[in-house]
């Protein structure tokens, strides 16, 4: 079962650059009998593996220079917010997850004009730090890797094309999720990880490889439509399960 979960998570992350946690959290709740907070922590492991394995095959499209600052700011956000996670009711976390999911869905389907930004490095740097810090808080509180917000931000504000946005999102989400997971683990989060969990890792890795081969057979237009449909299904099923 965990291998099958890994296949699903790896497929969604590789295809959309986001949504790994939206898949993992309801799956862990359903089949591993976890509550929402437990699933939100464990989902970060799945997101890390899915993000970085898929990033490897799309690394030539990523903007690594901006990714570094996103990750650094995200680490600070995770560190600052970790002590407060235990104070937040699960109902609030569920509502935040749903709002983010629907926002990301709107961003995927409704085309937007790129927002004009100041070219000054100081302004660009400040914007990146603020977004990265917010990403760290989001990742720690909800277990989302942040790709559902990173994609519309990279496309709308930073004016990245779809391929560059997905690849950059994968590396930022991967390392941000890893840092958040380690901070929460050090902060006392308890996890139940069995040897079977390696089946999930295998499922993610194998899917990432075959997805790379599969994308070569589709036209950009067909691939983009497939992305949108898959992401829509993921959001609908995940929100239904979380509530």
Model pLDDT, residue 172? 92
177 or 188, which is more confident: 177
In the prediction, which pLDDT does 74 show?
Answer: 93
pLDDT at 192: 62
- Give the pLDDT confidence of 51-107 residue by residue, as tens digits: 888 888 888 999 999 999 999 999 999 999 988 888 888 888 888 878 877 877 777
Q: What is the pLDDT of residues 189-242, one digit of tens each?
A: 666 666 667 888 888 888 877 877 777 777 777 877 887 787 788 778 777 766
pLDDT tier at 114, thresholds 50, 70, 90: very low
Q: Is the pLDDT of residue 165 over 60?
A: yes
Question: What pLDDT sits at residue 227?
Answer: 75
Question: Quick one: what percent of the chain has pLDDT higher than 90?
Answer: 14
Model pTM greater than 0.85? no
Q: What is the pLDDT of residue 129?
A: 93
User: What does the pLDDT look like over 182-196, one tens digit per residue?
Assistant: 888 777 666 666 666
Q: How far apart are CA 6 and CA 1, in angstroms?
A: 9
Across the range 123-151, mean pLDDT stands at 82
The Cα-based distances of 2 to 6, 181, 193 in angstroms read 6, 20, 11
For 6-35, write each residue's pLDDT tens digit: 888 877 777 766 667 777 888 888 888 888
Q: Which of 138-147, 148-157, 183-192 has the lowest mean pLDDT?
A: 183-192
Over the Cα atoms of the chain, what is R_g?
17
In the predicted model, is pLDDT for residue 120 greater than 80?
A: no
Average pLDDT along the chain: 80
């Amino acid at each position: 079962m965990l291998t099958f979960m890994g296949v699903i998570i790896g497929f969604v992350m590789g295809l959309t650059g986001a949504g790994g946690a939206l898949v993992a959290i309801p799956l862990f709740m359903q089949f591993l009998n976890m509550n929402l907070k437990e699933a939100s922590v464990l989902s970060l492991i799945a997101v890390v593996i899915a993000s970085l394995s898929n990033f490897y095959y799309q690394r030539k499209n990523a903007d690594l220079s901006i990714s570094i600052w996103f990750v650094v700011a995200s680490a600070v956000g995770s560190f600052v917010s970790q002590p407060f996670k235990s104070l937040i009711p699960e109902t609030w976390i569920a509502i935040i997850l749903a709002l983010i999911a629907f926002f990301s869905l709107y961003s995927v389907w409704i085309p937007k004009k790129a927002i004009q930004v100041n070219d000054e490095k100081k302004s660009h740097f400040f914007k990146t730090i603020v977004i990265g810090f917010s990403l760290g808080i989001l990742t720690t509180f909800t277990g989302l890797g942040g790709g559902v917000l990173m994609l519309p931000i990279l496309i709308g504000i930073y004016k990245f094309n779809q391929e560059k946005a997905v690849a950059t999102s994968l590396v930022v989400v991967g390392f941000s999720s890893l840092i958040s997971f380690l901070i929460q683990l050090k902060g006392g989060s308890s996890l139940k990880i069995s040897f079977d969990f390696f089946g999930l890792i295998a499922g993610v890795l194998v899917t990432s490889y075959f997805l790379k081969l599969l994308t070569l057979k589709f036209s950009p237009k067909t691939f983009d439509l497939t992305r949108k449909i898959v992401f829509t299904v993921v959001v609908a099923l995940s929100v239904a399960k979380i509530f």
